Structure 1
Amino acid sequence: MCRNIHTLHNFEPPATEDEVQAAALQYVRKISGSTKPSQANEAIFDQAVAEVAAATTRLLAGLTTTAPPKDREAEAAKARARAEVRFGPR
């Protein structure tokens, strides 16, 4: 039902609005236990996604770190290597 929510902090380039929105949607799906809400719940579901996205944007804007920014491609390569060790080559 829900893929992993990825870390969005301290990347170069910074997380996009689409990435924040996708993470918020995945979070609300996981919490609600529903991938697609019924018509009766659609408005509150969409409101929750918007609120989580807004909170995430504020959080990312407020966080500070002294660590150098991570490279998306390098992090993706590390994740693929971990998956290969865990699940074997595809």
Structure 2
Amino acid sequence: MCRSIRVLHDFQPPTTEEEVRAAALQYVRKVSGMTKPTRGSTEAFERAVDEVEKATRLLLDALPPRDEPRTREGERAKARLRWQRRTA
């Protein structure tokens, strides 16, 4: 999976629209193999980002909550710990 795409489900405070849009953009970039669309593919690229964003929002809204919501600080701490274990 693309390292730039983060877990978005069940966070406190809730996931923002900007986070959902950024994840959709990263997904489309990864799948298309382009970080920036060409002039001829801009419309298709933007439409794909919009559709992935919409699908992501539908999914997040439909998923049941976890026992304990995630926090961004907690996820960062877990990532640091994984990094330390890899580099040790």
* Structure 1: segments with no counterpart, 5+ residues: none
The alignment's C-alpha RMSD in Å is 1.3
The amino acid that maps onto 1:79 is A
Q: Specify which structure has the higher proportion of strand.
A: 1
Matched pairs, number: 87
**TM-score computed with the length of structure 2 as normaliser:** 0.90
The amino acid that maps onto 1:42 is T
State which drifts further: 27-36 or 78-87.
78-87
Q: CA, structure 1 residues 51+63, in 2 after alignment: closer, same or farther (shift >3 Å)?
A: same
* Structure 2: segments with no counterpart, 5+ residues: none
Q: Specify which structure has the higher proportion of helix.
A: 2
Q: CA, structure 1 residues 36+55, in 2 after alignment: closer, same or farther (shift >3 Å)?
A: same
**TM-score computed with the length of structure 1 as normaliser:** 0.89
The equivalent residue for 2:36 is 36
Greater than 2 Å deviation, 4+ residue runs: none
